[in-house]
Structure 1
Amino acid sequence: MAIRADFHLHSSFSGDSKAPMGEMVERGIALGLGQMCFTEHMDFDFPVSEGIPKGFFEVNTDAYLYELLRCRAVYGDRIKLCFGVELGLQAYLAEVQEGYVNSFPFDFIIGSSHLCNGKDPYDAGFFAGRSEEEAYREYFESIIDNLEVFHDFDIYGHLDYVVRYGPDQDKFYTYEKYRDLFERMLELLLENGIGVEVNTGGIGYGLKELHPCREVLKRYHDLGGEIVTVGSDAHRPADICREFKRAEEFLRDCGFSYYTVFDKRTASFIKL
Structure 2
Amino acid sequence: MAVDFHIHSSFSGDSDAPMEQMIQEGLKKGLRTMCFTEHMDMDYPEEPGVFEVDTRSYHEKFLQMKEKYQDQIELLFGIELGLQPHLAGRHRKYLSEWPFDFVIGSSHVVHGKDPYFPAFYEGKTESQAYLEYFESILENLAVFDEMDVYGHIDYVVRYGPNKNQHYTYEAYREVLDEILKTLIRKDVGLELNTAGYKYGLGHPNPTEAILKRYMELGGEILTIGCDGHAPEQLAWDFEKIPALLKECGFRYYTVFEERMPVFYPVETF
Q: TM (normalized to structure 2)?
A: 0.97
Q: Which residue of 1 aligns with 2:190?
A: 196
Over the aligned positions, Cα root-mean-square deviation in angstroms equals 0.8
Matched, 1:95 2:93: no
Of 49, 58, 82 in structure 2, the residue corresponding to residue 64 of structure 1 is 58
Equivalent residue for 2:251? 257
Say which of 17, 20, 27 aligns to 1:29.
Answer: 27
Q: Counterpart of 1:29 in structure 2: which amino acid?
A: L
How do residues 164-203 of structure 1 correspond to structure 2 at under 5 angstroms? 164-203=158-197
Matches within 5 A, 1:30-179: 30-48=28-46, 52=47, 54-179=48-173
- In structure 1, what is the Cα distance between the partners aligned to 2:241 and 2:158? 18
Residue 235, structure 1, aligned to residue 243, structure 2: no
The one-letter code of the counterpart of 2:85 is A
> SS where residue 97 of structure 2 aligns?
coil
How far residue 208 of structure 1 moved from its aligned partner, in angstroms, is: 2.2
Q: Are the equivalent residues in 2 in contact too, given 1:170–1:208 (CA < 8 A)? A: no
Instruction: List runs of 5+ in structure 1 lacking aligned partners.
Output: none
Aligned with 1:82: secondary structure?
Answer: strand
- Give the deviation of 1:248 after TM superposition: 2.1
Q: Return 179-188 or 35-44, whichever deviates more.
A: 179-188
Letter in 1 for 2:105: G
Distance 1:211 1:250 in 2: 12
Deviation, structure 1 residue 259: 1.1
Question: Structure 1 residue runs of 4+, over 6 Å off?
Answer: none
CA–CA distance in structure 1, aligned partners of residues 244 and 134 of structure 2: 22
Match of 1:268 among 244, 262, 267: 262
Contact conserved, 1:72 with 1:80, CA < 8 A, in 2? Answer: yes
Task: State the Cα distance separating 1:129 from its structure 2 match.
Answer: 2.0
2:199 maps to 205
Alignment length, in residue pairs?
Answer: 266
Deviation string, structure 1 residues 204-244 (Cα, Å, up to 9, x no partner): 21112100011111111011110000000010111100110
* 1:9/1:38 contact within 8 Å kept: yes
Deviations 1:130-173 (A, max 9, x none): 21000000000000000111010000000100000011111110
The one-letter code of the counterpart of 1:172 is: H
Q: Mind listing any 5+ residue stretches in structure 2 that lack a counterpart? A: none
Deviations 1:82-140 (CA, angstroms, capped at 9, x unpaired): 00000000011111111111110100000000111111101111111221000000000
